Amino acid sequence: MLGKGVKRKREEEEEEDLTSQDWWLEETTPSPNPEEGASPAPLPPSSLFNLSIFKLHHGLRRGEPDLRHLVLVVNTLRRIQSSMALESSPPEPPCPAPVDPLPVAPDAPLCTSVSALLDDLSHIEGLCDTQTSFSEDIPLSRPPETGLDPGRPAPLGSLELLLEDGLEGLFDDIDTSMYDCELWPNLKTDSGETEDKIQGQGLDVSELDYLMDVLVGTQTL
Amino acid sequence: LGLCCAPSCYPVPLSSEAGGGERSWILVCWLLVSTQVTLLSMEEDIDTRKINNSFLRDHSYATEADIISTVEFNHTGELLATGDKGGRVVIFQREQESKNQLHRRGEYNVYSTFQSHEPEFDYLKSLEIEEKINKIRWLPQQNAAYFLLSTNDKTVKLWKVSERDKRPEGYNLKDEDGRLRDPATITTLRVPVLRPMDLMVEATPRRVFANAHTYHINSISVNSDYETYMSADDLRINLWNFEITNQSFNIVDIKPANMEELTEVITAAEFHPLHCNTFVYSSSKGTIRLCDMRASALCDRHTKFFEEPEDPSNRSFFSEIISSISDVKFSHSGRYIMTRDYLTVKVWDLNMENRPIETYQVHDYLRSKLCSLYENDCIFDKFECVWNGSDSVIMTGSYNNFFRMFDRNTKRDVTLEASRENSKPRAILKPRKVCVGGKRRKDEISVDSLDFSKKILHTAWHPSENIIAVAATNNLYIFQDKVN
């Protein structure tokens, strides 16, 4: 502790400023400079996951998304997802990290952000039967499907469950060639199951018809 | 420079390539690219030097549209073009040298200003197309006029910039005001003569290359055959002939059949400076592909593939993002390529694909801050890099208005700052240093004090002299070397 009336030296002050930022420091990067002091507190992957979901959501809200930004964020999401999946598979995790890769605590913000994401996606042309309310059907704390297919990019687990056909809808609206045909491919492929879900969830089919009319109308112009 | 510290803790200035002596940099002129410059340059009798020195210091003129988005010298270095977010192109011309005014070497004044691109609206997608100029590339000069390519996200334009200093006088059928004369009143014939007039610089769009890109154009590159050029967007590269605007050849297409499988985009592309059949393009995964157009019409299969294996000790969630290449440039010799990713600049030998021959750390102190840089999106910033005329020094930008130079021969590097507060005209730039540890020396700046909103993304180096142009937001700084 400092004695009475003793001014702290300038160097010490600056040292304190530096360490106050530690909580943002990466868990996986080792501290290269020994002068930085105690190793920083790790940032849980689930927070990074939430942040990435938010970025995805924010990026898609823009009129014309930046494809590079989108691809990099999605790839980062995949990395985080597979890392969280790997953490959940061993029975006894070596470190005191949360056993459940999707802990209950962040459920609410994750659910909210993903729902908001879906809400926006449903208004983007080219997407079809996005389901608006999932919280009752699919428990978010369910661990993502194991057995990652090496030939295919790792699915985003719960995000994929909520979005029909995974990430297809995320990139569709950017490509103008989708206006040619196959407007609602998902409806055709998963006809029986999907239609039940649509009617069961109370999704406004007339809204979909209106969207289709608008799109078809622009094509004939 | 008046250095008095031990070399180990203070950056040493670059040594000159030939003739010995230490090289230091001085600010030649600082130019504010603003709407006022646009208005004034249209009035021919204004002394353009006044624009450089007077009222531009008032920040109230600066708007977001004035943010410089590209800087490029022409092939002789006589002209310097800037493009900004508002779709404007401003061309500066080098001050004519005279024996009496040697100290004016390296000064540039406004030569021409024009609106290259306007905001457009894509009615099919209900989206606005930004007018921001992404890139400018000069064509080599073949006659009295200057030609450049400028591009926004979707459309490339070829501009002709020419001077007019004579006008015809003495027409028969119209008078000096341009009004038609009644032929019945004409009694004699005369031959019109050319009379000198005040110099007028006019820019006219000669070609518009549109509707060829679904995604955002990030690069344009003029071929060494001077007949063709390429434009690259996130997923495709097209080859154009300067004379033909209604069609282009697609030479690279990395769009997957199923967009769900999209994991990589094209980030930059450039033609080889000497071999008209060769070009390279970089990707968001940190790879560079060299293609030979003689091999096939569609260059989906590369001739060479440059990738450095990932360092396992530096692996993190952000490894891919920081490996994404933001710029790729051939050396003037054509033997090397330089790439810029988030933290480093790398030099590759075309004959060695498995790793770069040189790696330079631009701002490695940011490696432990990647998480917060991801949160504020700074990790996605796209920095450019440039070679000097002899390929011995490379330069790139950083944050806090810092820019870095690396001497490939001496392995020395220097950090300089482009700011009005810290540089008076003709004053020598003081090297800067960022401290990462707890103890900060007097002239150093700590990592957490860096201003991440002040980023130097665009720089340019004169093709044959040590004159550099550095764009900091809406300010353009021109520095030259001062050999002691």
Alpha carbon dihedral B3, B4, B7, B8, in 10-degree steps, equals -130
Highest mean pLDDT out of B23-27, B314-318, B344-348: B344-348
Highest mean pLDDT out of A2-11, A122-131, A197-206, B150-159: B150-159
The model's confidence at residue A17, banded by pLDDT at 50, 70 and 90, is very low
Contact B414, B467 (CB under 8 A): no
Residues of chain B found within 8 Å of residue A45, distances taken between Cβ atoms? 317
Tell me phi and psi for residue A217, to 5 degrees: -60, -40
Residue B476 β-bridge partners: B31, B471
The lowest-confidence range among A134-138, B5-9, B279-283 is B5-9
Cβ-proximal residues to B2 (8 Å cutoff; 6+ apart), any chain:
none
The model's confidence at residue B413, banded by pLDDT at 50, 70 and 90, is very high
Nearest-CA distance B258 → chain A (Å): 8
Contact B260, B196 (CB under 8 A): no
How high is the pLDDT of residue B34? 53
Nearest-CA distance A50 → chain B (Å): 11
What domains are there in chain B, each with its CATH number? Answer: 25-34+66-481 (2.130.10.10)
A153 and chain B: CB distance < 8 Å anywhere? yes
Q: How many angstroms separate the CA atoms of A111 and B191, rounded? A: 83
Taking an 8 Å cut-off on Cβ atoms, the answer to whether B436 and A33 are in contact is yes
Tell me phi and psi for residue A195, to 5 degrees: -65, -40
CA atoms within a 13 Å half-sphere pointing along the CA-CB vector of B282 = 28
Q: What is the pLDDT of residues B223-281, one digit of tens each?
A: 999 999 999 999 999 999 999 999 999 999 999 999 889 999 999 999 999 999 999 99
Which ipTM value was assigned to this complex? Answer: 0.85
The lowest-confidence range among A54-68, A202-216, B300-314, B334-348 is A202-216
Q: How many angstroms separate the CA atoms of A110 and A104, rounded? A: 10
Residue B105 has pLDDT above 70, yes or no: no
Tell me phi and psi for residue B310, to 5 degrees: -70, 140
Q: What is the pLDDT of residues B27-38, one digit of tens each?
A: 777 776 554 333
Instruction: Considering only residues B106 and A195, tell me which one the structure prediction assigns the higher pLDDT.
Output: B106
How far is it between the farthest Cα atoms of chain B? 92
Instruction: Considering only residues B151 and A102, tell me which one the structure prediction assigns the higher pLDDT.
Output: B151
Residue B339 has pLDDT above 50, yes or no: yes
Q: How many CB atoms lie within 10 A of CB B166?
A: 12
Alpha carbon dihedral B133, B139, B141, B145, in 10-degree steps, equals -40
Residues of chain B found within 8 Å of residue A153, distances taken between Cβ atoms? 261, 263
Q: In what order do the strands lie in the sheet with B219-222?
A: B219-222, B228-232, B236-241, B244-253
Q: Is B345 helix (H, G, I), strand (E, B) or coil?
A: strand
- Give percent of chain B with pLDDT exceeding 90: 68
Q: How many angstroms separate the CA atoms of B386 and B462, rounded? A: 10
The model's confidence at residue B117, banded by pLDDT at 50, 70 and 90, is very high
The lowest-confidence range among A159-168, B216-225, B232-241 is A159-168
The model's confidence at residue A5, banded by pLDDT at 50, 70 and 90, is low
Residue ranges of alpha helices (H) inside B345-468 are 370-375
What does the DSSP assignment read for B25-93?
EEEEEEEE--HHHHHHHTSTTS-HHHHHHSGGG-GGG--GGG-EEEEEE-TTSSEEEEEETTSEEEEEE
Residues of chain A found within 8 Å of residue B284, distances taken between Cβ atoms? 68, 71-72
Instruction: Considering only residues B150 and B52, tell me which one the structure prediction assigns the higher pLDDT.
Output: B150
- Give percent of chain B with pLDDT exceeding 70: 86
Nearest-CA distance B317 → chain A (Å): 6
The residue-averaged pLDDT of B133-154 equals 97
How high is the pLDDT of residue A168? 53
Provide the chain A residues 90-109 that lie in CB contact (below 8 A) with chain B.
none
Residue in B235, B374, B378, B439 to test binding to A, most A beta-carbons within 10 Å: B374
Instruction: Considering only residues B153 and B3, tell me which one the structure prediction assigns the higher pLDDT.
Output: B153
Q: What is residue B455's DSSP assignment? A: B
How high is the pLDDT of residue B26? 78
Buried b (16+ CB within 10 A) or exposed e, B291-310: bbbeeeeebeebebebbbee
Q: How many angstroms separate the CA atoms of B402 and B419, rounded? A: 9
Contact B191, B172 (CB under 8 A): no
Over chain B, what is the mean pLDDT?
86
A150 and chain B: CB distance < 8 Å anywhere? no
Contact B403, B416 (CB under 8 A): yes
Nearest-CA distance A35 → chain B (Å): 6
Cβ-proximal residues to B274 (8 Å cutoff; 6+ apart), any chain:
B224, B334
The lowest-confidence range among A94-108, B375-389, B447-461 is A94-108
Q: How many angstroms separate the CA atoms of B374 and B318, rounded? A: 8
Q: How many angstroms separate the CA atoms of B455 and B442, rounded? A: 23
Residues of chain B found within 8 Å of residue A28, distances taken between Cβ atoms? 315-317
Residue A15 has pLDDT above 80, yes or no: no
Residues of chain B found within 8 Å of residue A31, distances taken between Cβ atoms? 368
The lowest-confidence range among B39-43, B118-122, B173-177, B458-462 is B39-43
A16 and chain B: CB distance < 8 Å anywhere? no
- Give percent of chain A with pLDDT exceeding 90: 9
Taking an 8 Å cut-off on Cβ atoms, the answer to whether A75 and B320 are in contact is yes
The model's confidence at residue B439, banded by pLDDT at 50, 70 and 90, is confident
Residue B51 has pLDDT above 50, yes or no: no
Residue B415's alpha-carbon distances to B13, B418, B438, B462, in angstroms, are: 9, 10, 20, 19
Residues of chain B found within 8 Å of residue A26, distances taken between Cβ atoms? 316-318, 368, 370-371
Angle at B439 between CA B433 and CA B445, to 5 degrees: 30
The lowest-confidence range among A31-40, B124-133, B372-381 is A31-40
How high is the pLDDT of residue B149? 98
Residue A221 has pLDDT above 60, yes or no: no
Q: How many angstroms separate the CA atoms of A203 and A208, rounded? A: 9
Of B224, B253, B248, the closest CA to residue B237 belongs to B253
How high is the pLDDT of residue B36? 39
Q: Is B336 exposed, middle or buried (0-12, 13-18, 19+ CB in 10 A)?
A: buried
Residues of chain B found within 8 Å of residue A127, distances taken between Cβ atoms? none
Over chain A, what is the mean pLDDT?
54
For the entire predicted model, the pTM comes to 0.72
The model's confidence at residue B95, banded by pLDDT at 50, 70 and 90, is confident
Angle at A149 between CA A144 and CA A155, to 5 degrees: 40
The model's confidence at residue A218, banded by pLDDT at 50, 70 and 90, is low
Q: Among A28, A72, A177, whose Cβ lies nearest the Cβ of B316?
A: A28
Nearest-CA distance B86 → chain A (Å): 18
Which tokens in the block code for residue A6? 């003793």
What kind and span of H or E run contains A196? helix A191-201
A220 and chain B: CB distance < 8 Å anywhere? no
The lowest-confidence range among A206-220, B38-52, B406-420 is B38-52
